[in-house]
């Protein structure tokens, strides 16, 4: 027995031996006392096996001890000690301990132990929900992704060719987003709306409205791993007209861990999507897939986080020329304090190959279209309420494509939070 536990039990025994003199109660009817420092009325077990030490004290001899109805081997006496090894099963279990003395007096105590998913049972079986909202006002330097190049590269192009490049026309846009998320047990679901509209009437056809509905079932394999199956239905409207509907099915394997330092999470997933286009005359319904590995880590002490995503897959917009294979990498850091200033930064890269687009700007740049898209972003904000913040975000993006190179910067203010 550990020294601290032995000291605690010894002290308890000393107190109990003084009770008859202090209380002058009837020894003949006093039931045995059941003592343990290893279990309390309700606890969460973090290890599968546990040896529990019990002490039974009575002015009469303790003659019988039962644990979950099973008699235990003891040497009768006014003080009886007993150790019992338990192997916890996933979920909740009740440990019932009963002691009987020679005069038939009984004492019974119960201890609830939650192991594995057990600590979450009560919370998981309750309906939980939250509403997320976001408003953003942004300036888009190149909403139509017109042919353009970063200044450092454009300076190397002859002036007569530079004159042929279109003049970029920036535009402002207003973005709204609302999401309702709910969970019950191993089931969770989301429904949401995204709306984005440009202020220039000439860019009305770039307006975007997205409605989505999804659900996830999570099957726990252990304390740190689970299998998830998700389904998501997305309806996309572009420029005020129907564009497509996308059905995405995602099986995923999740590894997570947590401790005093923080938490980590790995997600290995396959996203398989079916796309149905409204314009059946020029676009063909098709499918696409993406293999992805998402990793995130949160430092609970410093409240800073890191997230990365690596993806490989295919994409299509319903035409042969739009089909491409891609490899994408994103790395982002966040500093999220409880209140006050917060910040974030990150970068990403995506490489695309269009096997059916054999018309790059010149044959010298390759036989098919290739895109190299680079992204850098930074943001700073302020938490004016525990779940609400306002901030300034800046994202720079360029595509060093052999067919449609462009440069784009999007920056503005956002307000987001949760109810």
CATH of the domain at 158: 2.40.160.40
Is residue 253 domain-shared with residue 201, that is, in the same domain? Answer: yes
Give 44-84 as a DSSP string.
EE-SSEEEEEEEEEEEEEEEEEEETTEE-----EEEEEEEE
Are 227 and 340 contained in the same domain? yes
Neighbours of 59 (CB within 10 A): 18
Q: Are 157 and 283 members of one domain?
A: yes
Give the three-state DSSP class for 2. coil
Provide φ and ψ at 202, rounded to 5°. -65, -20
Taking the model in full, what pTM does it have?
Answer: 0.68
pLDDT at 21: 43
Return the pLDDT at 148.
64
* Predicted pLDDT at 44: 80
Angstrom distance (rounded) from CA 288 to CA 307: 25
Could you tell me if 104 and 250 lie in one domain?
A: no
Q: 216 and 103, same structural domain?
A: no
Of 59, 92, 121, which residue is a domain's last? 121
- Pairing outcome for strands 406-418 and 208-220: unpaired
Residues 276 and 374 in one domain: yes
pLDDT-flagged residues of the chain (< 50): 1-25, 118-119, 123-124, 161
| 289 and 384 in a common domain | yes
- Residue 355 CA, chain-centre distance (Å), reads 36
Q: How big is the chain by its Cα radius of gyration, in Å?
A: 32
Residues 197 and 107 in one domain: no
Give me the pLDDT at residue 341, please.
86
Q: How many helices (H) and strands (E) does the chain have?
A: 4, 21
> Looking at residue 151, what is its pLDDT?
53
- Where in the sequence is the domain holding 40, given as residue range(s)? 3-121
The per-residue pLDDT for 26 is 54
Domain CATH code at residue 55 = 2.60.40.10
- Number of domains within the chain: 2
- Which residue, of 121, 155, 188, is where some domain finishes? 121
């Amino acid at each position: 027995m550990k020294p601290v536990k032995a000291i605690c039990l010894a002290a308890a025994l000393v107190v109990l031996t003084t009770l008859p003199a202090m209380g002058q109660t009837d020894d003949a009817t006093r039931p045995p006392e059941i003592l343990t420092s290893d279990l309390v009325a309700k606890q969460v077990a973090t290890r599968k096996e546990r040896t529990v030490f019990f002490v039974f004290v009575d002015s009469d001899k303790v003659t019988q001890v039962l644990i979950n109805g099973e008699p235990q081997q003891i040497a009768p006496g006014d003080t009886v000690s007993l150790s019992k090894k338990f192997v916890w099963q996933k979920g909740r279990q009740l440990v019932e301990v009963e002691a009987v003395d020679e005069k038939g007096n009984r004492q019974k105590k119960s201890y609830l132990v939650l192991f594995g998913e057990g600590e979450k049972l009560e919370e998981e079986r309750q309906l939980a929900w939250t509403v997320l909202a976001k408003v953003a006002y942004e300036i888009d330097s190149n909403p139509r992704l017109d042919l353009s190049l970063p200044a450092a590269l454009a300076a190397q192009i002859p002036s007569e060719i530079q004159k042929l490049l279109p003049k970029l026309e920036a535009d402002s846009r207003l973005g709204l987003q609302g999401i309702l998320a709910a969970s019950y047990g191993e089931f969770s679901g989301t429904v949401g709306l995204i709306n984005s509209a440009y202020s220039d009437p000439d860019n009305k056809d770039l307006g975007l409205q997205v409605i989505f509905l999804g659900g996830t079932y999570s099957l726990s394999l252990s304390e740190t791993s689970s299998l998830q199956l998700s389904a998501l239905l997305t309806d996309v409207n572009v420029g005020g007209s129907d564009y497509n509907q996308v059905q995405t099915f995602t099986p995923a394997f999740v590894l997570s861990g947590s401790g005093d330092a923080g938490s980590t999470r790995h997600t290995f997933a396959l996203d398989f999507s079916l796309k149905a286009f409204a314009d059946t005359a020029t676009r063909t319904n098709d499918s696409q897939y993406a293999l992805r590995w998402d990793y995130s880590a949160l430092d609970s002490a410093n409240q800073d986080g890191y997230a990365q995503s690596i993806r490989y897959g295919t994409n299509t917009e319903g035409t042969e020329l739009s089909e491409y294979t891609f490899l994408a990498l994103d790395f982002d850091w966040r500093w999220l304090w409880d209140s006050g200033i917060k910040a974030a930064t990150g970068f990403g890269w995506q490489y695309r190959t269009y096997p059916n687009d054999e018309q790059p700007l010149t044959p010298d740049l390759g036989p098919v279209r290739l895109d190299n898209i680079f992204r850098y972003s930074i943001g700073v904000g302020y938490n004016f309420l525990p779940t609400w913040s306002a901030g300034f975000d800046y994202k720079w993006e360029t595509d060093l494509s052999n067919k449609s190179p462009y440069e784009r910067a999007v920056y503005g203010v956002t307000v987001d939070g949760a109810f």
